[in-house]
Structure 1
Amino acid sequence: MIRSQINRSGEMEVFVCVVERGGFSAAARACRMTPSAVSKLVARLEARLGTRLVNRSTRAFQLTPEGCAFYERATRILADISDAERSAGAGEEPVGRIRLNTSSSYATHVLAPILPEFLYRYPSVSLDLVQTDLIVDLLAERTDVAVRAGPLKSSSLVARKLGDTAMMVVGSPAYLARCGTPQTVEDLDRHNRLGFGYVRTVDGWPMKTNGDVVVVPVVGRVQASDGEGLRRLALGGAGLARLAAFTVRDDITAGRLVPVLEPLNPGDREAFHAIHIGQGGPLPSRVRALLDFLGERGRLS
């Protein structure tokens, strides 16, 4: 069978239905096919791909690792096809699934309050939200949009700035009552400095002293993989943390955290960008809708 005679999208639709319905019989009913026809279609697909997608037994249905990977790609391809068809027609309503990678801090303090509005605006769009402070490979992780903090390296990625935020050192009232409030850079030697468990662009706390800016090493007994984890540790009284102002603003207002060493704060700011892979062509409408929404409602100030 030559390539042009293969209905690839049709095969993908049936395979996705098999996965989402949990078996051949249920998929056959949904697709108005016989279970035998569905089974043969999946077998032909496996033969063409040269790998097993489904482990079959009389009692269980289980995807292989290759089947899981193919399912994720197939759902994305089908969403792109649907999006292309809608965009080519009279209406351009965004439709499909978006994979968004962002830090836990941005997801908690910026995205979560506005996400219901985005879903209401675009009822045909769904969102896969992946939270991590680590920089991911958008192509390898099949990510449509990522929100990243800090300076951007030169690359083929396209960036839209979402503003920037001040940084500040904070501690809980209980911790400061127990360990004292630092007044100088030297005082930090007597404090537990909560840090990140991975290398950052500036691996330390910038501080003004004697007219210069020095970077104080983060030496502490606890590290965390994301800013939201550090915030919770600071709230619990584990030590001092240097965090983005937008993540602790409500805590400071409520008295749960207290800024310290503000006279020594050099005033540096951390930029946030929404990035995506730039390939020179138009973006899917669902991705463009999310980028426009973040630029409108997801900005930092």
Structure 2
Amino acid sequence: MARPEINRSGEMEVFTRVVEHGGFSAAARICRMTPSAVSKLVARLETRLGTRLVNRSTRAFQLTPEGCAFFERATRILADIEDAERNAGAGEQPVGRIRLNTSASYATHILAPILPAFLERHPGVTLDLVQTDQIVDLLAERTDVAVRAGPLKSSSLVARKLGETAMVIVAAPAYLARFGEPKTLDDLDTHRRLGFGYVRTVDGWPLKQGDETIVVPTVGRVQASDGEALRHLALGGGGLARLAAFTVRADIASGRLVPVLEHLNPGDREAFHAIHIGQGGPLPSRVRALLDFLGERGKVG
């Protein structure tokens, strides 16, 4: 008896729609199918794979670990298919949309000056730039590439290092004229220490105390969700801020900001990486083009 033909890419597309839209009914509307047909298709897929992909109930929908892994691989495969079809009609020129997630500081000081050159080099590419300092789930946010600072956690993400930056505590001259320049750790008790409004790997300022390094908490009246907001607060005389050196280099050179407590700076550096989903497998040409461009022009120093 002949084996029925299996439309694997079609199954993957329906399954990914179920995950992305949170259930069978929503996916059915997108795919122009009935909810029962979508449910049966997913059930057939589970039977063929020999594993449960989703846990179902009347009110809840949850991916199993196997379902998460299959969704990740299916998403990449469908992107590769789309990329191959587009490239067939456009030669080897990268085409399509790239969703790039990065911090406001990196976007402002590194990306903004160079992105026009990238878009001119690749006219078939469109860019969706999302700015946030907080870590996002690339899979859930449908993100192709994220640029992140700090140590990388062990995961299924692939990283390309974009360099590293020193850290520096700065303040506006007007703030220092009003409150004085701190010279010791004890002096910080009387200063406004601007910080982030979310938990970071090191939740405070590492500073030298003799032969040791201690972490001084930020206890100012203002917290912000990204480094660029802290920079503007510091520029406005709002307090002391510890920021990546590349974000305040021009401000220091112009005298808008002044480094303080440099003799207590432990010399720690923060690494930047461009990360994407996968383990070194084939990438859509548009994503590969962006990664290559960032490695060439998007370095942090």
Calculate the TM-score normalised by the size of structure 1: 0.75
Question: Against the structure 1 CA distance between its residues 3 and 143, is the aligned structure 2 distance closer, same or farther, given a 3 Å change threshold?
Answer: farther
Q: Percent identity?
A: 76
- Computed over aligned residues only, the root mean square deviation of the Cα atoms, in angstroms, reads 2.9
Name stretches of at least 5 consecutive residues in structure 1 with no aligned partner.
13-41, 52-75
Change (3 A) 1:45 1:198: closer
The equivalent residue for 2:143 is 143
CA contact (8 A) 1:159 1:273 kept: yes
Distance 1:139 1:47, change over 3 A: same
Measured after TM superposition, the shift of residue 280 of structure 1 is 4.8
Distance 1:180 1:43 in 2: 64
Give the drift of 1:219. 1.0
Structure 2 residues without counterparts, runs of 5 or longer: 15-27, 38-75
**TM-score under structure 2 normalisation?**
0.75
Secondary structure of 2:295's partner? helix
Hey, what does 1:244 align to over in structure 2?
A: 244
Q: 1:50 to 1:113 in 2, by over 3 A?
A: farther
User: How many angstroms apart in 2 are the aligned matches of 1:49 and 1:280?
Assistant: 36
Matched, 1:46 2:32: yes
Note the 1:126-141 alignment, pairs <5 A: 126-141=126-141
Cα distance in structure 1, aligned partners of 2:230 and 2:30? 51
CA contact (8 A) 2:79 2:284 kept: no
- Tell me the alpha carbon deviations over residues 68-89 of structure 1, each in whole angstroms, 9 at most, x when there is no partner: xxxxxxxx99975442125457
Match for residue 65 of structure 1?
none
- Is the contact between residue 158 and residue 279 of structure 2 (CA under 8 Å) also seen in structure 1? no
Contact 2:158 2:278 in 1 (8 A): yes
**Per-residue Cα deviation, 1:35-64 (whole angstroms, up to 9, x for no partner):** xxxxxxx9894334679xxxxxxxxxxxxx
- Could you tell me whether the CA contact under 8 Å between 2:158 and 2:280 is conserved in 1? no
Task: State the match for 1:229 in structure 2.
Answer: 229
Deviant stretches of 4+, over 3 Å: 2-5, 42-51, 76-82, 86-90
Number of residue pairs aligned between Structure 1 and Structure 2: 247
Deviation digits for residues 235-276 of structure 1, max 9, x if unmatched?
110100000000000111111100000111010000000000
Give, in whole Å, the separation in 2 of the partners of 1:169 and 1:44.
Answer: 51
Counterpart amino acid of 1:101?
N
